[in-house]
Structure 1
Amino acid sequence: MSTSETTETKPEIYTFREEDVQKAKDLVGVYHAVTQREQYTRATPDIMRNFARSYGDDNPLFVDEEYGLDTRWGGQIAPPMINIALTKDLLADPVPKDQRRPSFRGIHVFVSGTTTDWYRPVYDGDTLFSFQGFEKVEEKQSEFAGRSLIVTRIHVQFNQRAEVVQTQRVITIHTERHESKKRKKYDAIEPASYTADEIAKIDEIYAAEQVRGANTRYFEDVAVGDTLGTMAKGPLTTTDMVVFHSGGYGFAPYTPTSSRLAYKNRQRIAAFYIPNEQGVPDVAQRIHWDSEYARSIGLPAAYDYGMMRDCWLSHFLTDWIGDEGWVESMSSQMRKFNYEGDIHTFTGEVVGKRVEGDRYLVDVELRGTSQRGEITCPATATISLPSRETGLAVLPTAPVEFERVAAKMLKRSGELRAAKRQGTKA
């Protein structure tokens, strides 16, 4: 036998660089303008509709440009999670070297949970901008991943008037990657399969789902213990992931690209491209649609994005509240993977009611449960509902300090754009 036939190939291992870990800790509380654009930059009827449909939402408030004219909003509005698809790039002064984010090259990143606060709707014609920063950085050791870094990032999104639309805190788990390490924890998980009768039962859930819509849900009509009904999502397919991306989830700055654009992207972020079984460099992100690659790192199949399940959770809420309500906040956790083939049912119940000033608030608990009986994405939410006594649901007030930062960044971006057009230095 030749040497190449008898020598075992060493597994490729990606570990944290200590300077990256320390830099992440040093950047807590530092905000920077988002200078990458997402797939979309300005809300239009088509964009709002396509994004809603990308995760299976047909609420006419989001998908019909005429329907909203007869509601309190006076027009079509965007679904709550539009922030993951819609951001225009800001121009900003160069980031000082000591404030640049660590690259964490070769490190797996999992979204484990988010907390989102919504302050005002996004309308046709609105342009959204964003700034972000690290809010918290913690180190952890686990049996599954070894050393990991838990990073909470805050994303503040605002419109062309520097009005904060929403804030989102995203908890990400950064883990070391050992390409050949066997994950015994997941060996017992078998891919899901279904009989025709089982698919028919899932279809019954879909057939019974309803959008509350114009049938106003008032605060006085809600009682603690009320259930939110049942919603189905899945079984998850590769097609679902493709539709989710094509509907707007751009995943900047790692946007899936092809041909020459993929080549250019590979020159920019080479470590993000890992050869597939044919030796072709392909994005590590393919773990969301390439089950063969997922199995190569010890998982039983490709799995969804945490942000997809946040879209599902918000969809469940907006179907329930009706046209006049407003989802103020939602906090979710991603406790388990959602693999290709998995079906999820969403359920929830009212756990509290309260009045804060002129706002009539309802607290709910909700969750997505897989066919294994595992709650993979528990969540809580606070909803503002209209009162029969006072009328419209009152929206919360955005943080003043964030609107000040937004106004400053938007002003500076405008100065830099004007200088760029004129060929001068701002």
Structure 2
Amino acid sequence: MTTTDIADTQVFRFRDEDIARTKDLIGVYHAVTQREHFTRATPDVMRAFARSYGDDNPLFVDEEYGKKTRWGGQIAPPMINIALKKELAADPIPKEQRRPSFRGIHVFVSGTTTHWYRPVTDGDVLYSFRGIETVEEKQSEFAGRSVIVTHLHAQFNQRAEIVQTQRVITIHTERHESKKRSKYGSVEAASYTEEDIARIDEVYSAERPGGADPRWFEDVAVGESLGTMAKGPLTTTDVVVFHSGGYGFAPYTPSASRLAYKNRRRIAAFYVPDEAGIPDVAQRIHWDSAYAKSIGLPAAYDYGMMRDCWLSHYLTDWVGDDGWLVSMSSQMRRFNYLGDTHMITGEVTGTRVQDGMYLAEVELRGTSQRGEVTCPATATVSLPSQVCGSAVLPAAPRELEEIAARMMQRHLELIPG
């Protein structure tokens, strides 16, 4: 049986009752009872996660460096929430409030909006609750019938303080429809000469991670460039390293040997036979180009969250040690295939003072070697000011902290001892 024949046998369609039940759950929040790869922030965890997407900012990777900064110690990179979370003890979710699984349906992250309120430091534990905010059905040129769902994920620490919130837009598409993506099969694979690599290396050599010199609000001008950051060429190694830093395990938990067998028993639809008939995770679409081609794509591609990490890396390098990333809203408009190279660029679009914060608005983007902007984004950063010194952090939403407090109280009531 050929790879194409295997793909033809994997036909998964939406069930109308699953879509209706998803809409019924808008505004209902539940404790996240599943852990991520890491559960406690340590110097090693923070360093490993930062390095997984190419970030060598000493504030994130050097245990000693942070002691000399406003933070008093090493802090975690902004996107640490995708790798760090401890399970919450909670009462069972009533059957009518359980989310449908959409098993066998392809899921693509198309965009996120994240707000940051507090740093994550050595010893912190993150917990989370989540809920559905919006559900939209549509017919798309990309994959026929699809369902677009916006999920709110709120992360809080062991003191029930909201650390960050993240709204994730996911596009769910029927697997059989993916073969209609013939236009993506015409994408030319990237190739490089020694001169091409040398030009990319020139960008890398000019980059400077973070820094102790304050970027004063008073010195920032509208139209100012944030510089250029290189990411790529994307390799399978990049994807593997991103996983080793902690991303991509929950809720699917790609596993090995006996653990893989147990996982296959738990979520059989997540395992799709390869060309040799061996069941393997559908998640391999991010490193197995043969599988990607079997569903109409020219090659394996990255994770949307990887590009969010890149964008946050670009911003934290620019704001320096005393600044703070307040929020970022990104879109994943096109695939980033193995072999692609992105240049991250941006500029200041506005400045303002609000709630004691000295803010700069930024537009940024990742542009591939094809000249395609695959990940446009906007962000707000809080900068140090000569009026008040270090950047002021925003206040977390009170209603979310109240939910966190209730969930933490119940967690403590339920856990042994």
Q: Confirm or deny: 8 A CA contact 1:11 1:179 kept in the other structure.
A: no
2:391 corresponds to which of 389, 393, 397: 393
Residue type matched to 1:84 in 2? I
Structure 2 CA distance, aligned partners of 1:189 and 1:411?
53
Residue type matched to 2:153 in 1? H
Q: Confirm or deny: 8 A CA contact 1:84 1:251 kept in the other structure.
A: no
Residues 89-131 of structure 1, C-alpha deviation per residue, up to 9 Å, x if partnerless? 0011000000001010110000000000000000000000000
1:227 corresponds to which of 210, 217, 225: 225
Structure 2 CA distance, aligned partners of 1:96 and 1:267?
24
Q: How much is the aligned-residue C-alpha RMSD, in angstroms?
A: 1.4
Structure 2 CA distance, aligned partners of 1:306 and 1:221?
33
Q: Confirm or deny: 8 A CA contact 2:143 2:177 kept in the other structure.
A: no
Q: 1:94 to 1:227 in 2, by over 3 A?
A: same
Residues 61-115 of structure 1, C-alpha deviation per residue, up to 9 Å, x if partnerless? 0000100011110000000000000000001100000000101011000000000
SS of equivalent residue, structure 1 residue 187: helix
Residue 183 of structure 1: how far off its partner (Å): 2.1
1:44 corresponds to which of 42, 45, 51: 42
1:185 corresponds to which of 183, 196, 213: 183
Residue type matched to 2:182 in 1? K
Q: Confirm or deny: 8 A CA contact 1:332 1:378 kept in the other structure.
A: yes
Q: Confirm or deny: 8 A CA contact 2:358 2:383 kept in the other structure.
A: yes
SS of equivalent residue, structure 1 residue 310: helix
Structure 1 CA distance, aligned partners of 2:60 and 2:16?
45
Aligned twin of 1:88: 86
Structure 2 CA distance, aligned partners of 1:239 and 1:179?
30
Residue type matched to 1:268 in 2? R
TM-score (norm 2): 0.97
Structure 1 segment 134-173 matched on structure 2, within 5 A: 134-173=132-171
Structure 1 segment 320-331 matched on structure 2, within 5 A: 320-331=318-329
Q: 1:193 to 1:90 in 2, by over 3 A?
A: same
2:359 corresponds to which of 358, 361, 379: 361
Residue 143 of structure 1: how far off its partner (Å): 2.0
Structure 1 CA distance, aligned partners of 2:308 and 2:71?
23
Aligned twin of 1:242: 240
Aligned twin of 1:424: none
Residue 29 of structure 1: how far off its partner (Å): 0.4
Structure 2 CA distance, aligned partners of 1:309 and 1:41?
23
Residue 318 of structure 1: how far off its partner (Å): 0.3
SS of equivalent residue, structure 1 residue 171: strand
Aligned twin of 2:213: 215
SS of equivalent residue, structure 2 residue 373: coil
Residue 255 of structure 1: how far off its partner (Å): 1.7
Aligned twin of 2:400: 402
Residue 12 of structure 1: how far off its partner (Å): 3.3
Structure 1 CA distance, aligned partners of 2:71 and 2:97?
41
Q: Confirm or deny: 8 A CA contact 2:58 2:210 kept in the other structure.
A: no
TM-score (norm 1): 0.95
Structure 1 CA distance, aligned partners of 2:178 and 2:287?
20
SS of equivalent residue, structure 1 residue 229: strand
Residue type matched to 1:173 in 2? I
Structure 1 CA distance, aligned partners of 2:409 and 2:248?
26
Structure 2 CA distance, aligned partners of 1:269 and 1:413?
27
Structure 1 CA distance, aligned partners of 2:363 and 2:371?
17
Structure 2 CA distance, aligned partners of 1:182 and 1:414?
50
Aligned twin of 1:15: 13
Residue 390 of structure 1: how far off its partner (Å): 1.4
Structure 1 CA distance, aligned partners of 2:210 and 2:246?
25
Q: 1:59 to 1:370 in 2, by over 3 A?
A: same
Structure 1 CA distance, aligned partners of 2:78 and 2:231?
18
Q: Confirm or deny: 8 A CA contact 1:180 1:296 kept in the other structure.
A: no
Structure 1 segment 18-417 matched on structure 2, within 5 A: 18-178=16-176, 181-417=179-415
Residue 191 of structure 1: how far off its partner (Å): 1.0
SS of equivalent residue, structure 2 residue 374: coil
Q: Confirm or deny: 8 A CA contact 2:41 2:120 kept in the other structure.
A: yes
SS of equivalent residue, structure 2 residue 225: coil
Q: Confirm or deny: 8 A CA contact 2:143 2:178 kept in the other structure.
A: no
Structure 1 CA distance, aligned partners of 2:89 and 2:233?
42
Q: 1:250 to 1:143 in 2, by over 3 A?
A: closer
Q: Confirm or deny: 8 A CA contact 1:12 1:180 kept in the other structure.
A: no
Residues 315-365 of structure 1, C-alpha deviation per residue, up to 9 Å, x if partnerless? 000000000000000000000000000000000000000011311000000
Residues 22-80 of structure 1, C-alpha deviation per residue, up to 9 Å, x if partnerless? 11100100001000000000000000000000000000000001000111100000000
Deviates more, 1:256-265 or 1:108-117: 256-265
Residue type matched to 1:47 in 2? V
| Aligned length, in residue pairs | 414
